[in-house]
């Protein structure tokens, strides 16, 4: 997987964190940059840690599934992307994850919840022999920047971009999964 594809995966994975960060920013009367950095650190840190854990798991099973690893990568990315699309199109008003105060316990849970998808992506990194250090650095940094921007944008513009971010992230992951599949089927 090349640098461009890794960056696109990082963008796709960061969209859940962006959506939650929008909610956090939406509920701030005045932008609190300290809180924005803390939120971004939680999301970026977990988005970097989860693919690493997935990569460790994937490396354990690599020898048993190398003949069909591209199908697994495609299915995982398509599933994650599809899930993001479904969440974006589901009806239901305000997200229950929107909350005005900065509660570190809640933030910890939200960071885990928004990075579970990254665990599965980490498994695909092991199958595709992708550089894990470059991958997790890029994912963590991208998510940090996107989350910080989400808090600021949420504070300034409200929640009207939440579903658009989830749609973009879902589509990016699905297209990357299709690209991986086609590259390995050639």
d(CA 35, CA 126): 34
Global confidence as pTM:
0.71
Look up residue 168 and give its two tokens. Answer: 């973009």
Does residue 51 contact residue 121 with C-beta atoms inside 8 Å? yes
Q: What is the mean pLDDT of each run of 10 residues along the chain (186 residues)?
A: 89 86 78 92 96 90 69 76 78 48 81 84 86 95 96 76 70 77 77
Question: Number of folded domains in the chain?
Answer: 1
Sign of the CA dihedral with 128 first, then 133, 138, and 143 last: positive
Which DSSP category does 131 fall into? -
Look up residue 185 and give its two tokens. Answer: 């089927």
Range of the domain at 50: 3-185
Look up residue 123 and give its two tokens. Answer: 């498994």
- The number of CA neighbours under 13 Å toward the Cβ of 59 is 11
């Amino acid at each position: 997987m090349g640098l461009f594809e890794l960056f696109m995966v990082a963008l796709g994975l960061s969209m859940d964190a962006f959506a939650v960060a929008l909610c956090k920013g939406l509920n701030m009367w005045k932008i609190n940059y300290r809180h924005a950095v803390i939120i971004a650190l939680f999301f970026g840190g977990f988005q970097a840690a989860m693919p690493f854990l997935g990569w460790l798991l994937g490396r354990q099973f690599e020898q048993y599934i190398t003949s069909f690893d591209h199908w697994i990568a495609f299915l995982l990315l398509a599933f994650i992307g599809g899930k993001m699309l479904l969440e974006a199109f589901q009806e239901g008003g305000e997200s229950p994850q929107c909350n005005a105060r900065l509660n570190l316990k809640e933030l910890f849970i939200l960071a885990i919840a928004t990075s579970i998808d990254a665990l599965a992506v980490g498994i695909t990194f092991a199958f595709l022999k992708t550089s894990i250090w470059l991958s997790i650095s890029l994912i963590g940094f991208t998510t940090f920047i996107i989350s910080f921007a989400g808090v600021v944008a949420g504070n300034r513009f409200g929640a009207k971009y939440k579903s658009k971010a989830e749609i973009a992230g879902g589509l990016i992951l699905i297209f990357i999964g299709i690209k991986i599949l086609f590259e390995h089927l050639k």
